[in-house]
Chain A
Amino acid sequence: MSLLDVQNLSVTLHTPHGDLPAVADVSLSVGAEETLGIVGESGSGKTMLARSIMGLLPRARASASGSVKLKGVEMVGARASDLRRLWATEVAMIFQDPMTALNPVMRVGRQIDETLRVRLGLSRSAARARAIELLEMVGIPSPEKRYAAYPGQLSGGMRQRVVIAMALAASPSLILADEPTTGLDVTIQAQILNLLDELQARLHTSMILITHDLGVVATRTSHLAVMYAGRIVETGTTRDVFARHRMPYTRALLESSPRVSNPAHTRLTAIPGRPPNLLRLGEGCAFAPRCGFASERCHRERPELSVPDESSHAFACFNPLEVGR
């Protein structure tokens, strides 16, 4: 049995403009100590997926259906108090923007040891010692001093390290990292990603790494899911998705990221058009209007995510690319 098992998860957001299918029919699973990458453009529903896996979406504004099982415990529709018991200790989230994820008027050390004291029942001094240990583990120099700092006194990279320390505090089995490096300088990005890798290996946790940057997931994940308009459109082992992608959208994503192997001054290919308005999705494949391979059928009917052969490589396309193209 895998650690996390998501079956047919759909999330509808209730907006003033109408109901919006932010996540549609997503199934995925993450095994122990595995890393799953989720990639897609902005607005493809990655963050919504992460938050709905956690069960963090406000009930008044979002309704979820399907099933999210963490260690066999159903989280969709679970009582708030039951979810609270899972948060931090079983599943924790690393948030996207370290500038807004920390309480500006609370010392960072207190924000870390709060989890330890409230959730794990550690004493004040034990929690403090552990928090300093965590700060050290995420590579913050002179952690005793930083323990008493306010978020505003730390740089973005330092803050993101604090956010990571906060997520790791209660040793969760699964970490959802939602674009953990988007708000940071490129040089810091690599440091943070390497830190995550290292910590994951050391602490034996599983991770879902969400990003729009294929370069980030290429070497760090075992499996990959490509999202478009709230759906998974292609998924498989990272190797398969990179080398034998079948879905035109995946290829477009790959071609739009810069590569060292390209000759200098190669133009990056942009995906034509814009991500679809989820309030006005048609019958067909959501990518069809931007797709060079779309046939008439693509506009009429939506392709299901399916596995054509014995591999685990699934894609949703009527006109899949030839392997190796």
Chain B
Amino acid sequence: MLRYVRRRLAMLLGIVFVISVGSFYLIHLLPGDPAAVILGTGDTPANRALLYRQLGLNRPLVDQYFIWLGHILHGNFGISFISQTSVWSTIRAALPIDLELIVLSQILAFAIAIPLAMRSARKPDGILDRILGAGSFTLLSIPPFIVIVLLVLIVSIKLGVSNTGPSSYVSLGSDWVVNLESLSLPALTLAIGSFVIYYRVLRSDLIATLQEEFITVARSKGLTRRRIMWIHAFRPSSVALLGTAGVNIGGLLASGFVVEYLLAIPGLGYTLIAAINNSDYLLVQGIVLVVSVGVVVINFLFDFVVNLVDPRISRE
């Protein structure tokens, strides 16, 4: 087990390094120049050259990368050229919003997907299974940016539920009720996408597990159906579910960014899009690094949980 964790950790470092290089070069490929944003009307070739020297932008890209990496390794994300504020403090203010959004959406998604998959798998091709199959497929085919717009249209505008529309975000610390209200529609939007995937993965694995001989053995012990479903069938069926969840949460950040942007929720997505528009290199790099490390760590954690759930995996 320990060897497995060590191997995975080494892999994790490698992945993060590759991502940091990639994100660094990609942002420099984008059109736009921080000098233009900072200098505004004073944008003359002389000023620009001076500013480049001050910011270190006149150096070769490889040098710039290693200078940045050196600072990052010392925990220094730098000061934004544009806003003159610490990149880390900006990220620290925005990150909890995304974390809250993801946690809320995942709780919702699992809370709906697991019981429904259990029900469906008990009678494959039964009425409930067919309805859920068709329904989930329909939901899967609607992208999140449409879902959020529809939800806002119906819930906030037609039904007039307060604090659910755009720009109604309040931080968790100041008023948790309004905070939950303001994040309810984004969380629901993200939950719908996740629910469909989780439901389908778990359902098909459960159906396969229920065919296994050890389920018949469990029945022959006189256990109740409920116990068989939850104790004997659920755990061996949840391996693919956990793996999928790990990958899905990474993708969820992207959908989350769009939803944040649409509702003006000041999370990482909103901040990132603003930073790209301003050519705020350090902020973009910082956010990309934090997000990618986050995704890699989340996947690592889920892999780890899968190992705990199914002892066959780390042994092989």
Q: How far is the CB of A17 from chain B (nearest CB, A)?
A: 18
B-chain residues with CB within 8 Å of residue A152 when the two chains form the complex:
311-312, 315
Residues of chain A within 8 A of B225, CB atoms compared: 80
Interface pick from A82-90, A186-194, A199-207: A82-90
Q: A56 and B315: CB pair below 8 A?
A: no
Residues of B contacting A95 in the complex (Cβ-Cβ under 8 angstroms): 213, 216-217, 220
| A residues near B216, Cβ cutoff 8 Å | 56, 95
CB A176 to nearest CB in B, in angstroms, measures 9
Nearest-neighbor residue (CB-CB) of A152 within chain B: B312
**B224 lies within 8 A of chain A by Cβ:** yes
CB of A78 within 8 A of chain B?
Answer: no
A110: nearest residue on chain B (CB-CB)?
Answer: B231
Q: State whether A105 touches B217 (Cβ < 8 A).
A: no
Q: Which residues of A contact B232 (CB under 8 A)?
A: 103, 106
B119-176: which residues lie under 8 A (CB-CB) from chain A?
none
Kindly identify which residue among B220, B309, B315 contacts A88, using a CB–CB cutoff of 8 Å. B220
| Chain A-chain B contacts (Cβ-Cβ < 8 Å), number | 75
B310 (CB) vs chain A CBs: closest residue: A105
Pair B213/A101 contact, Cβ less than 8 Å = yes
Interface residues of B in 209-236 (CB under 8 A from A): 212-214, 216-225, 227, 231-232, 235-236
Q: Which residue of B lies closest to A149 (CB)?
A: B311
Q: Which of B92-106 contact A (CB under 8 A)?
A: none
Given the interface contacts A84-B222, A87-B220, A119-B222, does A105 sit within 8 Å of B312 by beta carbon? Answer: yes
Query: Is A97 in the interface zone, CB < 8 Å from B?
Result: yes
B224 cross-chain contacts in A, Cβ below 8 A: 84
Supposing A118-B227, A150-B311, A152-B315 touch, asked if A103 and B214 sit within 8 A by C-beta, the answer is: yes
* A160 neighbours in B (Cβ, 8 Å): none
Q: Which residue of A lies closest to B224 (CB)?
A: A84
* 6 residue pairs, one from A and one from B, having the closest CB atoms: A87-B222, A100-B213, A84-B222, A103-B214, A88-B222, A150-B311
Measuring CB to CB, which residues of chain A are less than 8 angstroms from any residue of chain B? Answer: 54, 56, 80, 83-89, 92-93, 95, 97, 100-106, 114-115, 118-119, 150, 152-153, 163, 166
